[in-house]
Amino acid sequence: MGFIPDEVIETVRQRSDILYVISRYVQLKKKGKSYTGLCPFHDDRTPSFTVTPGKQIFHCFGCNVGGDVFKFLMLKENLTFSEAVKTLAEQAGIVLPADDNPAARKRDAKRERLKKANNLAKDFFINNLQHQEAAAAKHYLQGRGLSPEVLEGFQIGFALPGWQSLLDYLGKKGCRQQDLVEAGLAVSGETGRCYDRFRNRIMFPIWDAAGRIVGFGGRVLDDTLPKYLNSPETPFFSKGRTLYGLYQARQSIREKNCVIVVEGYMDVITAHQYGITNTVASLGTALTVEHGRLLLNHSRNVIFAYDADAAGVAATIRGLDILQELGCEVSVVSIPDGKDPDDFLRRYGVEPWEELIRRAASLIEYKLQYAAGKRTIKTVTEKLEVMRQVFPDLAAKGGVEKEEGLKKIARTLNLSWDTVAGELKRFEENLSKKWIYPDKIAKNIHTIIRKEKKMDAREKSESILLRLVLDDPSLGETILAEIGEIPFKNDNYQRIFMNCLELYKSPGYRPEGLFNILDNDDQNLLSKLLTLDIPGENPVNIMKCYIASIKRCIRQERREGILEEIKELEKSGNNMLYNDLLRELVYLKGIDEAEKAGNSERTVELMVDCKKFFNINNGDHRGEGRGNI
């Protein structure tokens, strides 16, 4: 995507509800005029991420990342600015001008072809269920007790047994074979001949969090291996970054503030069939950090319900550790008799399942159960090994949870509370010695929780003054007249201020338009400024107060500068300049004393006298700050 006119960008921005867009990725709760949640750009344990719909901005007070709806999508989906505009324009039904960049046009055309192929394939598979060769597939689905509503909701279909059924169909629709190979719908053999990847399988379309079909999964109806076959890694699809059913479950997850994670397609579909609509699956792969972040964006309360076989337990523990590190509250359902969720629900129904959910074990309990269940723990080495497995989780807990965890460990290992507590203390001491901030995190500006330096009085006043100007740039003229051409000591504030005045010259000024012209750091600062509340109702009076505050700060800085200059002059013996500086110091002290006493007439009189004296007597030596006292 090449050049996009500013007016088109502004139209897309105004038609894109930032709250709706971000809610697809982050669980938000209303707080006054804003919404808060856990930041998706760093390891956030307490909600520091704020969305302000009225201003169409987001800002994280933990990592200081902020911006508009375009910036959020760029960071979350790793898009360029043009790609973010295009994505939101499509969602808003806005047609963008044709792109003049041949390479970009070629790339966009290819993405559209692959997207079209996936959608056509989905329709083809659904229609195939009416084919006579789909009799066994229909019988299987009916045997699972799946309702027409669930089949339609998950758009389940069937891949015909033929080697080129899909290829022939999509070829008639104008799709290229090479595109179908890249989309993962076809395979190119050693001879170069293409054939359908999915044959004689029940087909499950896979959606991303935004509701786009990115791949497919297919289940066989006989003993052919593999039992389940997924799309390969493509430009759209990666098992490590996709959760099956998340698009369908997203609303339910937010309403229940909890997500249940299972392993397979049928586990999810059966759960939804029984009304457990906050269920998603990890597509049979080990849970990744990307999976964890997807879950965390919707709820931090995660319940695992993997198969109860040995491989399932091992996979569960790996996933639990990942989520624990990301800040989730995790628990585990132990399904009896080695069953998977699909089997259990169809055999016993909803109420026993909900009872399993209510009795879900905490991470520490589950690890203890697993360790104790594998063998009899007798030796010191074995007991220390179990503690090594559970201590990382226990160390992250607060007082009450830690106390309960210590009791459970002591009971399981037949040790005294004091012994376990002592081992935990040693573990925590060693942990603090070994901790090194990971390089890969330290290098990523979006994942660092930076400790901000405390703002001094001048910077606080400048921030409010700039906040006023962002709402009403016409105030800028007064600020320039009162303080000078560079009214802001903070360079970032000064850049935002000048860009604001420049943008104000264009019709239809909105402060969010500044995001299009500022660099990354200034965008983050702008989003923070726009979250500030203006302290009062009358902008002009507020502006005067903060201009006066900045002038007091300038005079204080000038006084400190004068004292330094006087020290140097005492060494050099320049009596004339020495006397001028003493005179200026007297004026500045007098102005501040008159201000404190509330004597505005005397304050103005001293300011005028000070300026006159130095304009007449000392034009060659103007100290910084004299012109705007």
Task: Point out the least confidently predicted range of 157-161, 242-246, 305-309, 565-569.
Answer: 305-309
| Closest listed residue to residue 58, CA positions, set 92, 89, 16 | 16
Instruction: Map tokens 């009162």 to a residue.
Output: 482
pLDDT number for residue 619: 43
pLDDT number for residue 270: 96
Which tens digit of pLDDT belongs to each residue from 362-396? 888 888 887 776 667 888 888 888 888 888 778 76
Task: Point out the least confidently predicted range of 24-28, 142-146, 236-240, 376-380.
Answer: 376-380
Mean pLDDT of the chain: 84
Q: In 457-485, which positions are buried (b, 16+ CB within 10 angstroms) versus exposed (e)?
A: ebbebbbbbbbbbbeebebbeebeeebee
Residue 246 binned pLDDT confidence (cut-offs 50, 70, 90): very high
Per the structure block, which two tokens stand in for 338? 């080695």
Distances (CA, A) of 393 to 27, 81, 428, 435: 24, 40, 11, 16
Cα 340 to chain centroid, rounded: 32
Residue 313 binned pLDDT confidence (cut-offs 50, 70, 90): low
pLDDT number for residue 622: 43
> What is the mean pLDDT of the segment spanning 276-288?
88
pLDDT of 618 above 70:
no
Distances (CA, A) of 144 to 177, 248, 299, 319: 35, 20, 30, 28
Say how far apart CA 550 and CA 544 lie, in whole Å. 10
What is the architecture, at CATH level 2, of domain 6-92?
Alpha-Beta Complex (3.90)
| CATH class of residue range 457-628 | mainly alpha
pLDDT of 613 above 80:
no
Per the structure block, which two tokens stand in for 399? 């007082």
Which tens digit of pLDDT belongs to each residue from 37-56? 999 888 777 889 999 988 88
Domain boundaries, the chain: 6-92, 363-434, 457-628
DSSP secondary structure code for residue 61 in this structure: T
6-92 and 457-628, same CATH topology:
no
Distances (CA, A) of 276 to 118, 156, 254, 356: 28, 19, 13, 13
Which tens digit of pLDDT belongs to each residue from 85-115? 988 988 888 877 766 667 667 777 888 899 9
Q: Helices 102-128 and 165-172: crossing angle, nearest 10°?
A: 130
Distances (CA, A) of 205 to 247, 284, 343: 12, 15, 22
DSSP 260-296: EEESSHHHHHHHHHTT--SEEE-TTS---HHHHHHHH
Terminus-to-terminus CA distance in the chain, angstroms? 51
Question: Which ranges constitute the DSSP H helices of 396-438?
Answer: 399-413, 417-434
Helix (H, G, I), strand (E, B) or coil at 321: helix
